[in-house]
Amino acid sequence: MKTGADESGISGDLSRQASAWLVRLEDAPENDVLRAQFLDWVATSHAHQAAWEETARVSDLIAAAGPLPWGKPFLPTSSARRGWFAPARAFASLAAAVCIAWIAVPYGAVMLRADAITGIGELRQVKLQDGSIAQLAPGTAIAFNNDAGGRRLSLLQGEAWFDVAHDKARPFKVIAGEDTVTVLGTAFSVRKTDSGAEVAVQRGHVVVAAKGAHSARADLLAGESALVDGDAVTRGTIRPDRVASWREGVAIIDARPVGDVIDRIRPWYRGYISARGPGLTSRHVSGVYDLRDPDLALEALARAHQITVSRVSPWLRIVTVQ
Amino acid sequence: MDALQVFVAARVELLRYAARFTGDAAEAEDVVQEAWLRFCAATSARQLDEPTGYLFRIVRNLALDMHRRRARENQLFESEASAATAAVPSDAPSQQAYLEARGELAMIHKALAQLPVRTRRAFEMHRFEGRKLVEIAAELGISKSLAQELVMDGVELCKKTLRRRD
């Protein structure tokens, strides 16, 4: 029975679909659209990931086994094979595929509304019309409006650091989902999360307003931070020189849930990171993680207790947190 | 990375390295495959600090051993057990890992032997020779999509053969 056909022409049961991805990705390692479609496919379910795990392992075993000599009957115990060949070139092309710069998975509707976006692992500095500077983390999309209503920057996705040009008459507002950060002239970072936003102030003074039932707000000065989750605002502190440390390619984590750390690594990794396990929200870690080398960052995480990272081909990492 | 990934990533270099000792490409192939089996056994028994370096040492020992054995055969002598044999871990878990790894490679070859000739050729061109689907299609006189299906058939048969073992 053929099932699961999609526009990429991948059909059949999951095992056969995974085999089709293996063959097609190796055949066209430079095809970014195909790779983006693969990432969507592998993210569909654990069953898809399991099918890819099996396929990647069998592909490695095939490379390890090498070709069977022609014209010789198969001998189960013989390791005798003849013929020089280009071994494991299939794997080499897979590995090469990862090294090729990859344009981010399309953000769909977000992209259409954005004035500036960044792809996987990409940092970008944008000068806004009012002279303010926005530095975008990887996987970020922003839109900016400077009109009679004032200066409004929409953080559609991701994280950005701002150095706002001083203008008393026209407050600068950052809108991240339901939450608003209002400033006059200051340097701070805002990260949009699934359920709110995270704000950290490097210099000056900002006002964070959570647009919930209680419309909670917090005044933050340099070295202060706020985590907005729905209606709740949790205040914290941060060394001003550590605000938006991703600009230097590192994540400085102080007692955050493992799942949150993985979310920070994701925009830097060109494949798909699957995170599982009960400890994702309950287990907290601290440390400095190298974002420019996501595999190294994941390894560093794994050294903490009861976290395992399995590498499945160049495109899939499975993190299990017990 | 697990042992298999370390091995596959290093394979091209290992073959080149082995060929320097054996002087013969086919023998280098045999040495490298045997090295995988021993590497597999060693990694099952303990965590290696420098797995790639260890892999190269196994290849070196096996290649030198093969060279010595060849020299002895030429003198019509066959004496003491080879030096590389001592590298085979003797404890039960690693011995079992060795046999399992050998079984897996044998099953891959068994699957390849069962493929129809055209399918096997398409599979080999793609998996071992790094050829593109369009090249395979041109050489076999078939469409690109059929070439892809044939390669997939090969991968699927390898999977099915390995699954039956479990």
Closest Cα in chain B, distance from residue A208 (Å): 44
B55: in domain = yes
Q: Which residues of B touch A (CB under 8 A)?
A: 1-2, 4-5, 7-9, 11-12, 15, 25-26, 29-30, 33-34, 36, 102, 104-106, 108-110, 112-113, 124, 126-130, 132-133, 148, 151-152, 155-156, 158-159, 162
Averaged confidence pLDDT in chain B: 84
User: How many independent structural domains does chain B possess?
Assistant: 1
In one-letter notation, the amino acid at residue A187 is: A
Provide the shortest C-alpha distance from residue A278 to chain B (in Å): 24
| DSSP-based three-state secondary structure for B43 | helix
Residue B38, domain member (yes or no): yes
At CA A110, angle to CA A176 and CA A280, rounded to 5? 60
Whether residues A82 and B155 touch (CB distance < 8 A) is answered with: no
Q: Do domains A109-240 and A249-321 have the same CATH topology?
A: no
Return the minimum-mean-pLDDT range out of A13-17, A35-39, A156-160, B145-149.
A35-39
Average pLDDT score, chain A: 81
pLDDT at B113: 92
**Do the beta carbons of residue A94 and residue A25 sit within 8 Å?**
yes
Q: Which residues of A touch B4 (CB under 8 A)?
A: 57, 60-61, 64
SS3 for A39?
helix
Residue in chain B closest to A65 (alpha carbons) equals: B105
Report the C-alpha gap between B58 and B124 in whole angstroms: 28
pTM over the 0.80 mark? no
Q: Say whether the ipTM exceeds 0.85.
A: no
Q: Is B120 within a domain?
A: no
DSSP A73-126: ---TT---------TTHHHHHHHHHHHS--PPPP-THHHHH-SEE--TT--EEE
Which segment of A198-202, A228-232, A250-254, B145-149 scores lowest on mean pLDDT? A228-232
Confidence (pLDDT) at B41: 86
- Range(s) of the domain holding residue B34: 1-89
Q: What angle do CA B63, B68, B70 make, to 5 degrees?
A: 95
| pLDDT band at A259; cut points 50, 70, 90 | very high
CATH fold of A249-321, please?
Phage tail protein beta-alpha-beta fold (3.55.50)
Please report, rounded to a whole number, the percentage of residues in chain A having pLDDT higher than 70: 81
Mutate to test the interface with B, among A2, A23, A31, A55 (most CBs of B within 10 A): A23
CB contact under 8 A, B34 and A79: yes
CB atoms < 10 A from the CB of A110, how many? 16
Collapse the DSSP code of A127 into the 3-class scheme (helix H, G, I; strand E, B; otherwise coil) and give the result: strand
Give A233's strand partners: A228
The distance in angstroms from the start CA to the end CA of chain A is 37
Gap from B77 CA to chain A (nearest CA, Å): 23
What digits encode the pLDDT tens for the residues A18-51?
Answer: 999 999 998 888 787 888 888 889 888 889 999 9
To the question of domain A109-240 being in CATH 3.90.1150.10, the answer is no
Pick from A51-60, A68-77, A179-188: least confident? A68-77
> How confident is the model over A144-167, as a mean pLDDT?
91
Looking at residue A111, its pLDDT comes to: 64
Q: Is residue B98 part of a domain?
A: no
Determine how many CB atoms are found less than 10 A away from the CB of residue A84: 12
DSSP result, B53-97: HHHHHHHHHHHHHHHHHHHHHHTT---SPPTGGGGS--SHHHHHH
* Res A283 pLDDT > 70: yes
pLDDT in tens, A177-189: 888 888 877 899 9
Residue B88: what are its φ and ψ, rounded to 5°?
-75, 120
Decide if A62 and B5 are in contact by the 8 Å CB cutoff.
Answer: no
Asked if B8's CB is within 8 angstroms of A63's CB, the reply is yes
How close B40 comes to chain A (CA, Å)?
Answer: 12
Give the alpha-carbon dihedral of A133, A136, A142, A148, to 10 degrees: -10
Please, what's the b/e burial string for A246-277 (b: 16 or more CB within 10 A of its CB; e: otherwise)?
beeeebbbeebbbbbbbbbbbbbbbbbbbbeb
